[in-house]
Structure 1
Amino acid sequence: MVKCCSAIGCASRCLPNSKLKGLTFHVFPTDEITKRKWVLAMKRLDVNAAGIWEPKKGDVLCSRHFKNSDFDRSTPNIKLRPGVIPSVFDSPYHSQEHSYSVMDSPKKLKHKLDHVISELEDTQESLRNVLEREKHFQKSLMKTIRELKDECLISQETANRLSAFCWECCQESIKREYIS
């Protein structure tokens, strides 16, 4: 049986060529708190129960409902980072929130604040990872420059210029790290 995305208005289906198109499908979390956050983010109602929709065991969401930063791409199999919440929805039901409507309840505002804080923490973690990788690459580049110079494959002047360039990049990286 072909799995379909559970988001309202999404026609994504898990077909053999889906992964080639960059489309992945993700089962709902087993952790009840995270699963509740997913369901609330979807804003899907159950017309039969007159309440919030509840996912069944085989229900999935496609990768279109997650930001690029929500994915861990460090392994061959693309996975969601732990604790991420889907946040990309295009259905008309999700665009009906207006700033001029009735003020949200404190509970809903707390939920939104928690979501923003979670996104901020994820972004900060992602930034730290990028900066660490950048430092690693800069060290590797400096080592390569030294090796090329030692083997007389580049001149001292070229080595100095390349080293100065790497030093400037490194200093910019450190400045950005302290700003965040």
Structure 2
Amino acid sequence: MRIFSYLFLLLLSTSSLAASKAYSPFETINQTGDKLFTRIAASQQQLEKFPELMRDIVEQELMPVIDYRYASYKILGKQLKKTSKEQREKFVQAMRHYLIRTYANALNQYKDQQVIYEDGKIKANAKMTSVNATIIDGNKPDIHITFQMRKNKKTGQWKAYDMVVEGISLLSSKRAEFSNRIAKYGIDQVIVELAAISS
């Protein structure tokens, strides 16, 4: 649980840039951490009274640059072709709300850990890339993270769709979890379950 809690924190810190400006994946990661956590620090009094405010912060600062649709389709995997357009859209929206809740809960664990982001360059025509980062938390072992980033064809914006923490992919873990349930119970039941978890 500790690793995945940190994983969520790292994803949050990468993703609060305005969707209208196309940054490189490295710029996205380096420039958004300060903005997001500065807002959280400034909102501490309100958050103590109204913890649900964290969901609003996630909604406004994070979700515009999370490629939750692409991630949802990857999670569906082979099940994707077996679903209708309406079922896919419902699953995407249910997954979106699930992620908002998950990230908001993870942010409550933020204790001012130090994060070091990799800097670098990519080819002009690159569509996907990986960006590395390290979490330093006092006397605890460093945690190494790799962000999987994807470039939007229309906007040129880089978005995060997966993270690999110490060799464990969040996307692959969720795909194994949800695809098995979809195969066993059907996508409609899984959508109901996601909605219940996210409420």
More relative contact order, 1 or 2 (CA 8 Å, 6+ apart):
2
TM over 0.5: no
More strand by share: 2
Larger radius of gyration: 1
| TM-score normalized with structure 1 length | 0.21
| TM-score normalized with structure 2 length | 0.20
